[in-house]
Amino acid sequence: MTAEHAPTSPGGFDDYVEALEAEGAPLLGHLVLYSVYSGEVTPGAIAGWFRELGLNDAYCPREISARDVYERVTGPSGVKRTYEIGEQQTRRERRRDGAKGRRALLMIRHVSRDSSAIVRHLVREVRDEERVQLAYDAGLAVISFVRDQADGAAGTAGSLVIQPDLAAIAALPAQEQAAVREVLDEVRDAFERGRLFLSGDKLRAVVRAYIESFHPIRVRPSGGVYFIGAQHAKTLAALRELVARFGHGSNLARVPLPDQGEMREMVISAFIARSKEELAKLADEIRKTKPGDTAVVQALHKRYTELAAQAAEHEQLLSGSIDDAQASMRLVQMQLASLLARAS
């Protein structure tokens, strides 16, 4: 789990927020960090929460793509199973005794893709440490995504079809037959669940996109802790309530920063360091870009626009203390304008 998704303790933060608000202390803004885990959130439920909390519908996820669920469940990070073949010694016991054994891996591998279906196979790989060799059963089952061909159906709509090779499975020892059946059941269950509920990755993307819309300052170089100006306090409170409704330990904590010299200095330093680093990268890429690379030029322009928007968001708040970063931005703007002129 990354620092961005590290668990927090919202109770203590809530007490701190309430104490500062009760005192009427002027706020510089909030430090924000969040944790989002997979739960049982449907597209319909989150759409209702967005309306109820007054959040911008542009960041609300739409319908779930059955094709994306299939890709996730059967992809490299999807369903698989590893188990020992033969003796009951564990790997640790074999290492201790210097013994070598056989180990099987059930995994799903891509076969083909066309306008009607995506086809993948359940493959059994056997690693024999004694003989130093690998063996494969290439198709214990065909696991396909069959696209919905009905008129008006979305391109991502479709259904899961599993066709086990009963003869190939029956040729395996009973223990391995059970493992194959369990894997196929897990694929079915994961696909059906994925069609109903938004994944943890999708929910994290919703929160991340909303936070990025505030043009936050990343306080830590590795990310995961953001400074957001006090003007967004009301929306942050609504976003915090939204994340709490995801369940399963999901939460968003907002730590108020009093408008004091030490706090302001910390935020300014983080902004300048981050901005200069991003602008230096951008300037270097602009120098290396050829005017004819239209897509690259457009991407560079978009990145510059985002950096400029972030600077504008925080310029008044930081009271003109970001001259150093602004000078770098003017230089990059001149380089980009020259590149755009030559591209035109």
- 17, two tokens: 């927020």
- 0.85 exceeded by pTM: no
Task: Say if residues 251 and 195 touch (Cβ distance below 8 Å).
Answer: no
Question: Looking at the predicted structure, is the pLDDT value of residue 212 above 70?
Answer: yes
Task: Say if residues 123 and 109 touch (Cβ distance below 8 Å).
Answer: yes
DSSP-derived secondary structure for 152-221:
T--TT-EEEEEEE-HHHHHTS-HHHHHHHHHHHHHHHHHHHHHHHS--HHHHHHHHHHHHHTT--EESST
Please name every residue paired with 194 in a beta bridge, in sequence order, or none if there are none: none
Task: Report the distance separating Cα 39 and Cα 297, nearest Å.
Answer: 40
Pairing relationship of beta strands 217-218 and 117-128 according to DSSP bridges: unpaired
pLDDT (tens digit per residue) in 248-284: 889 999 988 887 777 777 777 777 777 777 777 877 8
- Rounded to 5 degrees, what angle do the CA atoms 74, 75, 79 make? 50
Least confidently predicted of 47-61, 151-165, 293-307: 293-307
Task: Say if residues 332 and 282 touch (Cβ distance below 8 Å).
Answer: yes
Which residue from 306, 271, 322 is spatially nearest to 29, judged by alpha carbons?
271
Average pLDDT of 215-242?
Answer: 86
Pairing relationship of beta strands 102-113 and 133-147 according to DSSP bridges: unpaired
Which residue from 205, 197, 202, 242 is spatially nearest to 51, judged by alpha carbons?
242
pLDDT (tens digit per residue) in 307-337: 777 777 766 666 555 555 566 566 666 666 6
pLDDT (tens digit per residue) in 136-159: 888 899 999 999 888 766 768 899
Average pLDDT of 95-108?
Answer: 69
Torsion of CA 295, 301, 303, 309, to 10 degrees: -150
* Model pLDDT, residue 8: 44
Question: Looking at the predicted structure, is the pLDDT value of residue 184 above 90?
Answer: yes
Which residue from 38, 79, 93, 42 is spatially nearest to 63, judged by alpha carbons?
42
Least confidently predicted of 47-61, 71-85, 283-297: 283-297
* Model pLDDT, residue 129: 62
Task: Report the distance separating Cα 22 and Cα 92, nearest Å.
Answer: 58
